[in-house]
Structure 1
Amino acid sequence: MQSEINKALQVLKEGGLILYPTDTVWGIGCDANNAEAVKKVYDLKKRVDSKALICLVADDRMLKKYVKQIPETALNIIDVTNKPTTIIYDDAQNLASNLIASDGTIAIRIPDDDFCYFLSRKFNGAIVSTSANISGQPTPKSFKEISKEVLKGVDYVVNLHHEKNCNKPSSIIKLSNNGIVKIIRE
């Protein structure tokens, strides 16, 4: 696993795209602080950049770098949830501007996955994580279902868990600073 982390780190630092297994589905990733890399993700997915992407961070300490005010409810949800949950936060900061939604929000997940944790920790930053498909196409349930277009469009494919069938995408909850909680995807 360490050599795969090192190879993926090099690509992220150079502004490239990686294809990697997450705690949910196979993801296309890049440095969440690099606007050019984020644009490459939108281009590869043929997705309009007004449709926000998810980021992964290693832990709640890292989360604080990217969200001005973390609602206490968020930390409670992170502690008690037993399935992958992405939370949309108000007042995103320190991220590529084309990654932040027009309303100033950002979707972030702390994955329960060793590879993602160590990759984010060693990278010391947020990593984009969006499903490894062209926009409008089904989310691949396994590595074998990833399209040739996506495979050719990334700079590095992580050589781990190719045989593993992936879970469904994460739940998504929007937690506004005004206390409103909205379930976006269960």
Structure 2
Amino acid sequence: MTEEIQRCIEVLEKGGLILYPTDTVWGLGCDATNSEAVQKVYALKQREDSKALICLVANDFMLEKHVEQVPELAYDIMDLATKPTTIIYDKPKGVAKNLIASDNSLAIRVASDKFCRYLINKFKKPLVSTSANKSGSPTPLTFHEIGADILKGVDYVVSLHQNDKNGQPSSIIKLGNDGAVKVIRE
């Protein structure tokens, strides 16, 4: 795993794209602080950049570093969630501008997968994590369902867990700083 993490970091530091196993489905990833890398993800997915992407962090400390104010309810949701849960926060900071939604929010998940946590901790920056498919196509639930165009479009493919069946996409909940809670995806 150490060698895989090192290879990913080399690609991420150069603004490249990785294809990697996450705590949900296989993800397309890049440095979430690099706007050119984020643009490459939008281009590969053929997705409008007005449709925001998810960002992964390694822990609560990194979350707090990239959100102006984490509502207390977020910690309760993360502690009680029975599956990976992405939370949309108001007023993100320290990430690429083209990663932030037009309403000044950002979807962030604290990764629960061991590989992801180690990678993000070692990289010391959040990663973009979006499903490894073209926009509008079904989300691949296994590595072998990922299209050839996606495989060719990334700079590095992680060789771990390629025969595992991944889970489902995460739940998504929007938490406003005003206390509003909205379930986007269960």
5+ residue gaps, structure 1, are: none
C-alpha separation in 2, matches of 1:106 and 1:166: 24
Match of 2:22 in 1: 22
- Which amino acid in structure 1 is aligned with residue 117 of structure 2? Y
C-alpha separation in 2, matches of 1:16 and 1:125: 14
In the TM superposition, 1:4-153 aligns within 5 A as: 4-153=4-153
1:112 Cα offset (Å): 1.0
1:18 Cα offset (Å): 0.1
List 4+ stretches of structure 1 deviating above 4 A: none
1:165 Cα offset (Å): 1.0
Q: How many residues align?
A: 186
RMSD of aligned residue pairs (Cα, Å): 0.5
C-alpha separation in 1, matches of 2:84 and 2:18: 21
The answer to whether structure 1 residue 185 and structure 2 residue 176 are counterparts is no
**TM-score normalised to structure 2 length:** 0.99
Match of 2:174 in 1: 174
C-alpha separation in 2, matches of 1:96 and 1:111: 19
Deviates more, 1:78-87 or 1:130-139: 78-87
SS, match of residue 55 in structure 2: strand
1:82 Cα offset (Å): 2.0
- Which amino acid in structure 2 is aligned with residue 172 of structure 1? I
5+ residue gaps, structure 2, are: none
Q: 1:104-155 CA deviation, whole Å, 9 max, x = no partner?
A: 0000001111000000000111000000000000000111100000000000
SS, match of residue 162 in structure 1: coil
